[in-house]
Amino acid sequence: MLKPEKTRFFLPLLAIIPALLGALLLTGCSAPEPPELRQATLLPVAKAVADFRLTDQAGRPFTLDNLKGRWTLAFFGYTHCPDVCPTSMAMLGQVQRNLAKDPSTGELPQVVFFSVDPERDTPELLASFVPYFHDSFIGVTGAADEILKLTRQLGIIYGKVEGSGSDDYLVDHSAAIILFDPEGRFRALFNIPHKPEYIVADLQAIKQYYEATR
């Protein structure tokens, strides 16, 4: 049996131990802080995307399932674009090459060019356009209503600017790059001006954060 003076010392310890264990558990289970990013805007909560049905440059179906299983960088533009689109695609080619040099990258993200000009951008035209920037890039087109279904979910805005003829027009469009996570959810966006080194660093940080919070 414990002596009275030892009992007085032992009982306070019994009361303190659960509190200490609780504090340790809370500290160990607290969610990591979102990363500090140079250019990307990380959504507080990943946004699920409704399915869509489009076609890639090889004439194969391209749906939400094609965005699952790996990270995806997506740009929305059109092949007749005189400036922003080729500049952005060339920049994404540099991002891909920079990532390939980093041994910590693992699997490279897929890069998808979604056309917002389905009247002119056939799969055949995309097949000659996207490989110019990187041989792994994917070009996607399809019915106007299916493109609209996807872009509305992502906040991508675009519209035809009439020209002198039915086939002579520009398309105003958002220039943000969308990042989808391996579950096919809208996770972040990169606004202009795009810098390859910032996109690479932010993408790596977002990937680490994603793994830490799963």
Among 202, 67, 59, CA closest to 142? 59
Q: Length of the chain, please?
A: 214
Supply 12's token pair. 């306070």
Name beta bridge partners: 180.
72, 186
Q: How many CA atoms lie within 13 A of 51 on its CB side?
A: 6
In this predicted structure, what is the pLDDT of residue 183?
98
166 or 83, which is more confident? 83
Asked if 116 contacts 122 with a C-beta cutoff of 8 angstroms, the reply is no
Distance CA(76)–CA(178), nearest Å, equals 9
| pLDDT digits 0-9 by tens, 27-75 | 445 678 989 999 999 999 999 999 999 999 999 999 999 999 999 999 9
The predicted model gives 178-196 an average pLDDT of 96
Residue 166 in this model has a pLDDT that exceeds 90: no
The CATH number, out of the four listed (3.40.50.720, 3.40.50.970, 1.10.3720.10, 3.40.30.10), of the domain defined by the range 40-212: 3.40.30.10
Residue 168 in this model has a pLDDT that exceeds 90: no
Supply 198's token pair. 């910032």
| pLDDT digits 0-9 by tens, 101-112 | 988 888 999 999
In this predicted structure, what is the pLDDT of residue 164?
56
Q: List every span in the chain annotated with CATH 3.40.30.10.
A: 40-212
In this predicted structure, what is the pLDDT of residue 30?
67
Asked if 56 contacts 97 with a C-beta cutoff of 8 angstroms, the reply is no
As a whole-number percent, the residues of the chain with pLDDT over 90 amount to 78
In this predicted structure, what is the pLDDT of residue 31?
72
As a whole-number percent, the residues of the chain with pLDDT over 70 amount to 85
201 or 165, which is more confident? 201
Burial class from Cβ neighbours inside 10 Å (0-12, 13-18, 19+) for residue 108 reads: middle
